[in-house]
Copies of this chain bind each other. A is one copy, B any other.
Amino acid sequence: MANIAFIGLGNMGGPMAINLVKAGHEVCVFDLSETAVAQVVEQGASTKASAIDCVKDAQFIISMLPAGKHVDGVYLSPETGLINYIAKGSVVIDSSTIDATTSRKVAGELALQGINFVDAPVSGGVGGAIAGTLSFMVGGSDDEFKQVEPILNAMGKNIFHAGGHGAGQIAKVCNNMLLSVLMVGTSEALQLGLANGLDAKVLSNIMSKSSGSNWTLDVYNPCPDVMENVPSSNDYQGGFMVDLMAKDLGLAMDTAVGSQSSTPMGALARSLYAMHAASGNGGKDFSSIFNLFNK
């Protein structure tokens, strides 16, 4: 069992930290929200007056923050940056979904101080965080991957080694860009069938067993009442918010620009999700893009 500092106790970070406690680790948590801290402390975590105090004795430091600028600030700020307080030989696990450039910058700065780093963004949503069934896409050396794998196992089901520093972020951005294309394409195909007299369940079944098979059609169907226990059958509540998909597609476009890659479908998906968010749907599940094609 390890000494772990956990920074950032939002909708994802909170339940992830609790699963580490349940697995028997010594977990010191910190967040700017006292309520968020209290909820995890109630489950057996400890806390201290600052993130700096939490990380001093930690073998592993896990962060779950909103964007690249927060990760950069928390670790690298000239005086208050955690880089000045983390012990040599410790391992930083950043599970935030951010740009790979920031991940690589933080990894490089920490390495100069003898501190290990992996980027380890997750997929699986709040449900997966609570159930401990997240997927982690890890960027780091083979040694670093071996060190973090047992820790991540307490919070997830699939732990993938994507490559070197930043590769976890790239894998996530590629996956989520593809996911958005699957969702829009599936929505269009189902709506085209509906508009031409087909039954959504019948068409879903046919395409699921044919070459149209994909995750959004097969297990996350965007058409209401085709499946139970998916957001589309619950007024698009819960699940993965449109605003978060729009954020991930922004990262995908930044990544594509950085490598001068052509991504016509990804770019179209970003525009459609931005349009959908701007119409007041930012808080709905991302499968609500189905309604953009209503007749």
Complex-state Cα separation, A173 to B209, whole angstroms: 15
Q: Mark A90-102, 1 if CB is under 8 A from B, else 0.
A: 0000000000100
What class of interface size applies to chain A in its complex with B?
35 or more
Q: Mark A195-214, 1 if CB is under 8 A from B, else 0.
A: 11111001101110111111
Q: Are B264 and A175 in contact (CB under 8 A)?
A: no
Chain A residues touching B, majority SS: helix
Protomer copies: 2
Q: Which residue of B lies closest to A182 (CB)?
A: B214
Q: Are B188 and A266 in contact (CB under 8 A)?
A: yes
Q: Mark A167-197, 1 if CB is under 8 A from B, else 0.
A: 1001101111111011011101111110111
Complex-state Cα separation, A213 to B217, whole angstroms: 10
Q: Which residue of B lies closest to A207 (CB)?
A: B175
Min Cβ gap A127→B in Å is 12
Any B CB within 8 A of the CB of A5: no
Q: Are A177 and B202 in contact (CB under 8 A)?
A: no
Any B CB within 8 A of the CB of A259: yes
Given A137-B206, A162-B203, A259-B195, the answer on whether A211 and B264 have CB atoms closer than 8 Å is no
Q: Are A181 and B265 in contact (CB under 8 A)?
A: yes
Of B164, B268, B295, the contact of A268 (CB 8 Å cutoff) = B268
Determine the chain B residues whose CB is within 8 A of the CB of A195 once the complex forms: 259-261
CB pairs A–B below 8 angstroms (9 shown): A100-B196, A123-B210, A170-B196, A170-B197, A170-B198, A179-B212, A182-B214, A261-B293, A264-B272
User: 5 closest pairs, A vs B, by CB?
Assistant: A181-B185, A214-B214, A195-B259, A178-B212, A178-B189
